[in-house]
Amino acid sequence: MSKATTATGRSGSFKSLTEMVQLAQANLPRESWDYLMGGADTETTLKRNRLSIDSLQFRPRVMHDVHKVSVATSLLGQDMRIPVFLPPIGSVQLFEEGGGASVAKGAAEFGTLQILSSVCTPDYESVANASAAAKVYQLYLMGDQGWMDDIIARTLELGYVGFCLTADTQVYSRRERDILKGWRPPSGSSALQSDFGHQARMNWETVAHIKEKFDIPLWVKGINTADDASRAIDAGVDVVYVSNHGGRQLDHGRGCIDSLPEVVAAVDDRAPVVVDGGFLRGADVVKALCRGATAVGMGRLEGLAMAAGGVPGIVRALELVEQELVTTMALMGAASLDELNPAFLEAAASVVAPHVLSAFPLLDEAY
């Protein structure tokens, strides 16, 4: 299917993830597309996320019964149909007007966990009631400790199953695609870009305070090193989340999958380690699981799925990731998630130049 023939309607009928990207691009205005796909400064971190995933190849095993491959898992007691969750996306309503509520519906229908951004619409109360999916609330600190405490207490009342601090965004980065157009995302942009004082002051005492005062699983998103992973465990963090914000914050950072081995070793089974950053295909997810991640976040995939098909688009995208995941594992000779380990991987030169869309080499072909 060529770009010229893509429809602007939204449905979950795309045949492949490549077609999902084509539909998303056809449906989005340039500003929203650039906001979704872009990164900070030179976009080196963004590309490095892909480069580090593409620089691992599989060492498959054979003659192993794979007639049934099981990929269901759970995270802190929350069932997940596949080890993939939907990360927080600010201004997600740009991609489909239902915003965080549509993601919540898609997450429930497919059977996975959603992390809701504090900078999108509708608000966290409406999203709590939008579906039965397990939801974590990610908050940017835009008020004092009392302000934060009130919100955590309210999310607990509303049934959120976790609370997430984003540590890689203490100040807002420079995203040139947006700057050059004079464009800002609609939700929280002024607070994020000019009044980021509380978020910039966030530190391990913030973590200690939350752990002392609230009985809610705490995720810290944006950890990249063994030292910070150990510190997080010492502070009582419940989920160590390896991320570089999809290359949208610190430029010239590490590829996230390359941070996994040292973080997983430092955490040493004391908490689940999850990861995001550049994961767009089922095989990408398998690589992170081989390196010890419990689950993988797919941020741009979530935005692309929303733009391509709204709620059915989210469900369809996750179904396709599931098909790719199961097929990859079967062809590697692994019938269950607990068989995955680092011995299935080895370093290799990437066969493609890294790019935000290099996971979709057929994008410009006319099928």
Question: Which tokens hold the place of 119?
Answer: 């900078």
**Residue 245 bears catalytic tag:** yes
DSSP letter for 338, please: G
Alpha-carbon distances, residue 84 vs 112, 151, 172, 325, 366 (angstroms):
7, 26, 27, 10, 30
Stretch that binds ligand FMN, among 170-178, 227-235, 277-285, 344-352 (CB under 6 A): 277-285
Neighbouring CB atoms inside 10 A of 358's CB total 19
* Residue 245 binds ligand FMN, judged by CB under 6 A: yes
Q: Does 90 bind ligand FMN (CB under 6 A)?
A: yes
Buried b (16+ CB within 10 A) or exposed e, 312-346: bbbbbbbebbbebbbebbbebbbbebebbeeebbe
Based on its alpha-carbon atoms, the radius of gyration of the chain, rounded to whole angstroms, reads 19
Q: Confirm or reject binding of residue 166 to ligand FMN (CB under 6 A).
A: yes
Contacting residue, 36, 101, 116, 305, with ligand FMN by CB under 6 A: 36
127 contributes a contact to ligand FMN by CB under 6 A: no
With CB under 6 A as the rule, give the number of residues binding ligand FMN: 25
Does 278 participate in binding ligand FMN (rule CB under 6 A)? yes
Of the residues 10, 135, 300, 316, which one makes contact with ligand FMN according to CB under 6 A: 300
Q: Verify binding: residue 294, ligand FMN, rule CB under 6 A.
A: no
Interaction of residue 354 with ligand FMN, rule CB under 6 A: no
Q: Are 264 and 293 in contact (CB under 8 A)?
A: yes
Output the residue with the shortest Cβ distance to ligand FMN: 299
Q: Is 87 in the site for ligand FMN (CB under 6 A)?
A: yes
Segment interacting with ligand FMN (CB under 6 A) among 126-134, 152-160, 203-211, 244-252: 244-252
Nearest in space to 237 (alpha carbons), one of 256, 213, 223, 217: 217
Task: Give the residue numbers marked as catalytic.
Answer: 245
